[in-house]
Amino acid sequence: MSVLNAPQTGSANAPVYKQIIDGIESKLPQEIRGPYQQIVVAGMKFLFDDTTHSMMVKRLDAAQQGGRVPGEIVKGTVDVIKVLHQESQGKMNPAAAFPASATLMYHIFEYAEHKQPGIQFDNDIIAGAAQSLMKQMAEAFHITPEQLQQGIEQNQQQGGDAPPAAAPAPVQEV
């Protein structure tokens, strides 16, 4: 159920990111597939649209000079979700937003590897970024660590990796 047929970027990790995204999508409960797709498509449009793409490029360039690309990708991904949440007037489904944010993050990692020669993220960096993303998303949606852990455990028991479907408070402003 690939949401986007993104062009191959030449990233050495492109197959890894595709495998991760395919894994996320294969475990989505049916009821959040539509909202997930909407968020990912809107996020990709935001990231790669002619009017907003330059913001991402500038952030990546500044982050590379400061040696903090993974952290900036995570922060930027959360910022995109916050913007989309605001545009949805608070109607964004957090159970769809969590996996959608991960998918967007992996697309940005792939783009960064392609755009900035010499950059390649290893599995430890990718895993650490995923953990950081989930923590920052939980903070943005006012989900406590206990609620997040409970949702993870509940979903693992159901055979999935989808994030918790806790009722969110409004997302904090950027």
pLDDT at 2 over 60: no
* DSSP letter for each residue of 50-70: TTTHHHHHHHHHHHHHHT-HH
> And the tokens for 52?
């907003």
Residue 152 or 103, more confident: 103
User: Residue 93 pLDDT more than 80?
Assistant: yes
pLDDT at 97 over 60: yes
The distance from CA 113 to its chain's CA centroid, rounded to whole angstroms, is 16
Mean pLDDT calculated for residue range 82-101:
92
CB 100 within 8 A of CB 39: yes
pLDDT at 138: 92
Tell me what pLDDT residue 174 has: 37
User: Mean pLDDT, to the nearest integer, of 17-21?
Assistant: 91
Q: Where are the domains of the chain?
A: 14-157
Q: What is the dihedral of CA 4, 8, 11, 17, to 10 degrees?
A: 30
Q: Identify which of 103, 108, 124 has the alpha carbon closest to the alpha carbon of residue 59.
A: 108
Q: What confidence tens digit (pLDDT) does each residue in 39-70 have?
A: 999 999 999 998 888 888 888 887 877 678 88
* 131-167 pLDDT, tens digit each: 999 999 999 988 888 887 776 676 666 554 444 333 3
